[in-house]
Structure 1
Amino acid sequence: MSALWTPSGPDRIVHGDNLPVLEALPDGAFRLAYLDPPFNTGRVQERHEVSSTRAETGTAGFGGTRYERIRRLAAAFDDRFTDYWAFLEPRLEQVHRLLDPAGTLYLHLDYREAHYAKVLLDGLFGRDCFLNEIVWAYDFGARTTRRWPAKHDTVLVYVKDPERYHFDSSAVDREPYMAPGLQTAERIARGKLPTDVWWHTIVSPTGAEKTGYPTQKPLGVLRRIVAASSRPGDWVIDPFAGSGTTGAAALALNRRFLLIDESPDAIATMRARLPHALVSATAPPTAG
């Protein structure tokens, strides 16, 4: 992997399956990992069959949780979850290995998977390593009159070591008070620190930020993550990089980044958005 990434090398965009790339990276190389994997929405999407390496007896994990029992319980409620987690779990195991002792994982999901993922991440990282459940609320998208319209995503936040993780709330962009009439002029001018509910609009279909990539996330959301959980010069990794918003936020805040995606459209978008980054391709898988 030294040909694809080194800690002293340039910002990188890697075109290929993220699992073998992650497996080849050195332990503890990254301060921050942001994952925005394909949501298990029930719509047709590509699936990768990945068998678990854990024993049927349920080998104890990082937090002492029995993985096989938890996975069976989750699958009993939703058959689709079995394949989805078989795809995602080995990638999260690798990300856990790649985080340095002060490192943080942000896992971005929607309401269909967040509750399953929370239980399984408790097993992988340990319950004491759970930091936050962030609710990103937005105001655009499909409407329905048959239920409360779903207008939020969930971001689960876990740290590698609950005694050593990096978090700097003072580095985060502040936001307006929702009830400014109850605040002093000084506090209104300074703004308030965000809570675990983030009110932030989606990327405008006609705005300058729009790249045309269908699942692009707003720069403001990623800036908040990168600013809070890394320092200038730290390495940030995004294995499902998509439009490259994580890299754009890292670049703006003087962080280093490694972005991975297997979609040619994603790579083309990131090339245009982050022209300084070195683009590499992993070897195609062998037949059989």
Structure 2
Amino acid sequence: MTNRLYYADNLVALREHVADASVDLVYLDPPFNSNANYNILFRSPAGHAAQSQIEAFEDTWHWNDAAEDAFEQVMRSGQTRAFDLLRAMRTFLGENDMMAYLSMMAIRLIELHRVLKPTGSLYLHCDPTASHYLKMLLDGVFGADRFLSEIVWKRTSSHNSARRWGPIHDTILAYTRGPNFCWNRLFTPYDADYVRRFYRHADAAGRLYRLSDLTASGLRGGESGLPWGGFDPSAHGRHWAIPSVVKQEFPTHEGLRTHDWLTLFADGGLIEMAGDGGWPHVRRFLDRMPGQPLQDIIDDIPPLTQRHAERLGYPTQKPLALLERIIAASSNDGDVVLDPFCGCGTAILAAEKLGRRWIGIDVTHLAISLIERRMKDAFPGTHFSVEGTPKDLASALDLAARDKYQFQWWAVSMVEGVPVDGKKKGADGGIDGVIYFKPDGKRTEKALISVKGGAHVGVQMIRDLHSAMEREKAPIGIFVTAALPTGPMLREAAAVGRFTDEFGRGFARLQILTLAELFRGKRPEIPFVDPLAAIRRARREESARQGELL
């Protein structure tokens, strides 16, 4: 079941492929701004035709028959609390885009609750546009008592808003399936200013330490209230706070009496009489402290910018460190992590890196093919399966008949290309994708990809691709076709000539590949292909030209 990518509607994939109580951790980052276009996967490097964008799907969350069906599915789900909330929201909001979004999310949250183990947790990443409504839905599905945390991630340093507070954060809502959930206590490094303000002392060896009071407010009998070392805590309305100190300083020690602990601390040079009246304080050395326990405000993980090597151009891409923190806190080695809106796959990469098993679901071939490339780039030799993508010629032709854009994006992924927007043919001359390559290991070039899924192809299509190559100054063109090429097409392609790289290797400038050949393993002949690295390099070069600090 695990280490699988599903190209599918996540509601269908969850119902058909994910069993009850089989998942340890769910992370989801669904589209949450009802007035935006979602899943714009790539902005092409400078020089590409019209700075084209890929839109996996445009604002599909309008109130329509699909939204009404999602609402009715919640009604029939048996989740009475969730439906009561959703019905109240519909009364309040009306039948608009936000209500369509909430209906879509409600039925999916019900399925995600079903697949979670009793010890499992769910983290929903959203923004203030819908976070308050989503929290109510989560209360309805999971129960208000299963709310764990509302985490604030500072996603940017500032935002220039003329008439409101600058919106610089996202919200992550964390819920648990049951009361006995997985939680690993993690720590982050202390802030430099905190260290400077509190760890102001140093011993003879130069070790930094701070002084902490050995007493706590309130009177207690027994040893906790007896004088020691000439100091009587009860005279000040206090008692010895040894248990709390021991837990932090000596978590593996237990069983000693209060005065024995005090003597041990004193003999070890850990106690000094500081402050007015010689109050006893314990030295807490910086190099023995684990750090700051996780807090619900995350401001130490910056958003991705042009200078980050992991940045792919996916606008909602989250930093790997953020997903690693969430997965490390709420799952263990070998646990199953599920991301039902996996996008560019950062949660999947984090799960693999931390030794978890994983399931990723996305509704676009763009996302699935991108994750495949990222996984192979980051973890060579790792094994995972991809479900729902064409596995033979018949299924490829079926996809072409059902959705030509998804077919084009899938075909582009088969030749390890980066898709361009198939809906803007007037701007890009019918180009469906680009393969970036470095013929000399430094300079980035591109091969243009044209995909045809119909039963009829002709020589004019080859001429159109050649014209685009000349216009774009692309040394190579790839024509992918479901039908067999004709003789005139083959002759026209051959007449375009050869490209010779820096090492004297020759490559056909215009190459024709059939789907049947792709399924047999044939691929374009491209010099020095490295798609992700080339994309990153092109973006860094463009940033440098614009004067951005790398």
TM-score (norm 1): 0.85
Q: Confirm or deny that 1:262 pairs with 2:363.
A: yes
The number of equivalent residue pairs is 272
Alignment deviations for residues 52-91 of structure 1 (CA, whole Å, 9 cap, x no partner): 33449x96337xx833443335525x93321111111111
Deviation digits for residues 140-173 of structure 1, max 9, x if unmatched?
5752232211000000001000x2111111xx35
Q: Is the alpha carbon distance of 1:173 and 1:254 closer, same or farther for their aligned partners in structure 2, counting shifts above 3 Å?
A: farther
Match of 1:247 in 2: 348
Instruction: Find the counterpart in structure 2 of residue 51 from structure 1.
Output: 71
2 CA distance for matches of 1:141 and 1:265?
31
- CA gap 1:141/1:213 in 2 versus in 1, 3 angstroms: farther
User: Shift of residue 282 of structure 1?
Assistant: 6.1
Relative contact order, CA 8 A, sep 6+: which one is greater?
1
Structure number with greater Rg is 2
Note the alpha carbon deviations across 1:232-288, whole angstroms, 9 max, x for none: 00000000001111111111111011011112221122011112332221688998x
The answer to whether the aligner puts 1:165 opposite 2:181 as a matched pair is yes
Residue 236 (str. 1) matches residue 229 (str. 2): no
- Tell me what 2:437 maps to: none
Identity among equivalent positions (%) equals 35
1:197 to 297, 302, 324: 297
The residue number in structure 2 matching 1:220 is 321
3-state SS in 2 of match to 1:179: helix
Query: What's the counterpart of residue 60 of structure 1?
Result: 80
Q: Distance in 2 between matches of 1:173 and 1:271?
A: 32
- Contiguous gaps of at least 5 residues in structure 2: 38-58, 200-207, 209-284, 377-381, 391-397, 403-550
Q: Which residue among 35, 39, 55 is the counterpart of 1:42?
A: 35
Asked if 2 retains the 8 angstrom alpha-carbon contact of 1:101 and 1:164, the reply is yes
> What is the match of residue 3 of structure 1?
none
In structure 2, the CA distance between the partners of 1:129 and 1:13, relative to structure 1 (3 Å rule), is same
In the alignment, which residue of structure 1 is the partner of 2:98?
81
* Equivalent position of 2:188 in the other structure: 174
Describe the shift of the 1:201–1:59 C-alpha distance in structure 2 as closer, same or farther (beyond 3 A).
Answer: closer
Change (3 A) 1:73 1:119: farther
Quick one: which amino acid aligns to residue 208 of structure 1?
Answer: A
Aligned counterpart, 2:50? none
Alpha-carbon distance in 2 for matches of 1:41, 1:179: 40
Conserved? CA contact 1:71–1:120, under 8 Å: no
With normalisation by structure 2, the TM-score equals 0.46
For residues 92 and 27 of structure 2, the distance between their equivalents in structure 1, rounded to whole angstroms, comes to 24
- Asked whether 1:124 is paired with 2:138, we answer no
Rounded Cα–Cα distance in structure 2 between residues aligned with 1:106 and 1:243: 17
Letter paired with 2:7: H
Contact 2:348/2:358, CA 8 A, preserved across alignment:
yes
Distance change >3 Å, CA 268–CA 183, structure 1 → 2: farther
**1:82 and 1:242 mapped to 2: Cα distance?**
23
Residue identity opposite 1:33 in structure 2 = V
Q: 1:222 to 1:237 in 2, by over 3 A?
A: same
